[in-house]
Chain A
């Protein structure tokens, strides 16, 4: 099933690259060459061969797709024009930063959003509920680039508490713990941006689920048993609310590795998203294609994992 999805996604992506005129690619290569880097003839030919470009007959396209797909299976995503090394290597090199930022942000997101969402649901229409509603609205309405820039302007440029961009202080050469602290300082605002913008949706999800659960018959039973409200909420209701939350956590897997394009761009973090954006602007076609396939693969894994998690948390779902 998921293989089928992957096949479909790859077909669409392959079709997209076939839409690109070949001389345009040549133009881009020339531009990169003028920029100082050199794209070897070999790399270009390898890419042409891999995608089967040049032959626009139906058979040619089919052949190109098959050759690209077989390369893909071997995780050969081609060679990046700009970096001159295999695309897979570029991706893995820059994945670390994106992963660190996304992981920390996701942990904070769940740690903040779940308790808040639950209190909002159990104190419906109270002051707390309104606060949460407002936070939710901020989270889902603020464009990340605008909010990120505002935080950067305020916390980094005006107050000077944190560095504005990059991942390390270029002028100092830190090692060990100091280097780690420097990383933390640089990642603080990006993580803050992601957390504030993402807790909204998560809180709303928690709140809606919790409300639904709290109105169910088995919660009434739990109360009728004489359980204290705390146990009713934190054991009986929470365990049920957890089902969609855990499932959504599995769905988040791709975003852990894929990088937050906008946030990385705003804070100039050398994460994979920023690299991809840069690659697009410079016409590094093999990289963009490889990156997209990488993401598609991740989201298919995410779907699979979500199903798996669902089976784990919900006893009603049997794993086949």
Chain B
């Protein structure tokens, strides 16, 4: 009986949750749809070398079982012309972070609750403007969406509209960004993009419908679409997960080449450490909605500090390894309703110390670029 009472929600509790959620959701929706002057969401970068700074971002989902804190106080920076990899197992809030940046969260349940997302936007006349995307009303989001930040999604099979040709969908991007573009301009640009992403028969693909293309081709088209507006930042949300291995390698090569060509930054979201090692300059490790470790790729791969990061690396299959068994981190990511106060990784951690039952560990700087959130390293900091 006792077990039942703790594990089930009573009707009254559900109603209470629903009522509270509705109140907060309504407020946030109203905030999202408000009309306001641009000055209200203009801000300044803390480091002008960054293109994107996320500070203490909280993105919540108001579900009927309670508030899911999918992104819980995430802070990270994306420098100009860099590739930042975000790693973590499924459900750790990687995708939600990227969706928050694009403001593509499915309302009214998904909402940015608090925090800042500062983005350095380059206007057509060359001047730079810093927007706080989290505060932007949804009606002004067109200022950055698509033309400044573009996104490549995980599912190339379903991410293209089945009833329009590739050409129509590509041209559209040009039309949004250049109001005076003619049909020929748009087509020229689209063909250029299709060539850029290495499509062999651009004319044929241009006239094709999505269902006539393979998964790899569709992902190339998606990338072409993302590039068509010359964005400053490309968010690639697990761009290769749905593709088979050979195609994966092609797509990654393509992304790497493109970064140099377009002179922008890439935010690469993946659960595959191999991809990160190959692609990223900086790495952010997320766990259960929080950033637990971040640093340059070198630091993370040669000197991983958080037990979770270490575990992640151990679980990567290598030829050199002697053991027959793959390492696995025991347990699962906790469901993000009713999170405890102590470290979320405590249950799965093999290096637990007494302190771990205390407050959630704060970020500790171990080098100018390397941060980790674990009690194990707190003393080091105090000493040094």
Contact = CB atoms under 8 A, between A and B. Distances in A.
The answer to whether A and B touch in the complex, with CB atoms under 8 Å apart, is yes
Interface in A289-314: 313-314
A228 B180 CA distance: 17
A220 B95 CA distance: 13
Chain B contact residues, majority secondary structure = loop
A223 B222 CA distance: 13
Contacts, number: 72
A216 interface: yes
Contacts of A228: 142
A224 interface: yes
Contact of A243 (B147, B150, B158, B163): B163
Chain A contact residues, majority secondary structure = helix
Contact of B145 (A224, A239, A240, A316): A224
Contacts of A240: 161-163
Contact of B162 (A215, A218, A222, A224): A218
Interface stretch (B43-51, B170-178, B343-351): B170-178
B153 interface: yes
A44 B244 CA distance: 74
A218, A226, A313: most-surrounded residue (chain B CB, <10 A)? A226
Interface string B130-160: 0000000010001001110011010100111
A218 B161 contact: yes
B247 interface: no
B163 A224 contact: no
A224 B151 contact: yes
A223 B104 contact: yes
Interface string A211-222: 000011110111
Given A225-B146, A226-B146, A226-B176, A217 B158 contact: yes
Given A224-B146, A226-B177, A218 B159 contact: yes
Interface residues of A, number: 23
Interface string A111-129: 0000000000000010000
A226 B147 contact: yes
B300 interface: no
B102 interface: yes
B163 A239 contact: yes
Nearest to A224: B151
A161 to B, nearest CB: 42
B222 to A, nearest CB: 7
Interface in A106-161: 125
Interface in B290-341: none
Nearest to A220: B104
A223 B211 contact: no
Interface of A: 125, 215-218, 220-229, 236, 239-240, 243, 313-316
Q: 10 tightest CB-CB pairs across the interface, nearest first? A: A226-B146, A217-B158, A218-B161, A226-B145, A224-B151, A315-B209, A217-B159, A225-B146, A221-B159, A316-B211
29 contacts: A215-B106, A217-B155, A217-B158, A218-B159, A218-B162, A220-B104, A221-B160, A221-B222, A223-B145, A224-B146, A225-B150, A225-B176, A225-B225, A226-B142, A226-B147, A226-B173, A226-B177, A227-B146, A227-B172, A236-B161, A236-B164, A239-B164, A240-B162, A240-B163, A243-B163, A313-B163, A315-B163, A315-B165, A316-B211
